[in-house]
Structure formats: structure tokens, C-alpha cells
Amino acid sequence: QVQLVESGGGLVQAGGSLRLSCAASGRTFSNYAMGWFRQTPGKEREFVAAISWNGGSTATADSVKGRFTISRDNAKNTVYLQMNSLKPEDTAVYYCAARRFTMVVSHQQYDYWGQGTQVTVSN
């Protein structure tokens, strides 16, 4: 069982940066692969980034590649999403997710979810 709480969202101008954090509670956090997803009204939940259980592998969606970076600190039970060069189309609710061991990019394959944090990027 893993409980996840996102933070760090807010309002930022285009070209700016935000860092999202996801704090995890539960046993053996280091055995869980973590992902970030985002969703806007009327759209399917979209993969953003994922990281393997030990941080050795990462994946990033083409839409954010080169701008967003996922990382984790297992000692702090926390995963991060550093978002740079933000664009208005990045506006969404961002969700943190977890699954046991294997890193995947489909939201349907994640078992645990945070409540989401709103990111709004203005022109």
C-alpha cells in the first residue's frame, strides 16, 4: 500500500519553471516505479514521465522531452518533476502514480494515485 500526495503546482508565465513533488507513505518505497501524468478537461489522461524503482531508467513523453525531468530520492520517499520552459499547453492537473517494480508508461497499469496538483501556464 502506497499513499501519494502531490504539491508544487501553481500559476506561472510561459517560459517559467515549476518543480512538482510527490511525497509517498507506505512500506518499501524503493520497490515502486513512479510516474507523472496530466489531464485537462475533455482529454484522456496523458503520460508525462516515469522513473524506475532505483532511478536507473527514465522515460519522458515527446511533448515534454528536453523540458521536463523526473527524479526520485528514495531516502526521502519523494519523486520530483522539474518543469522548465513551460508552455500554455502544459496547463493541466498533474498526477503522481506508483506501481510495483516495473516502469511503464500507461496510466492503466498504475495502482496508486495522488490527488493531483493544478499547473496553469499563462501567455
Count of other CB atoms within 10 angstroms of residue 64: 23
Phi-psi region at 8: left, alpha or beta (left = phi > 0; alpha = psi -120 to 50)? left
How does strand 117-122 pair with strand 10-13?
Answer: parallel
pLDDT, residue 87, reads 98
Report the amino acid identity of residue 43.
Answer: K
pLDDT, residue 115, reads 97
Q: How confident is the model at residue 1 (pLDDT cuts 50, 70, 90)?
A: confident
DSSP conformation class of 54: T
Tens digit of each residue's pLDDT (9 = 90 or more) over 15-71 = 999 999 999 997 777 889 999 999 999 999 999 999 998 899 999 999 999 999 999
Angstrom distance (rounded) from CA 51 to CA 69: 10
Of 40, 92, 47, nearest in space to 65 by CA: 47
pLDDT, residue 63, reads 97
Q: How confident is the model at residue 99 (pLDDT cuts 50, 70, 90)?
A: very high
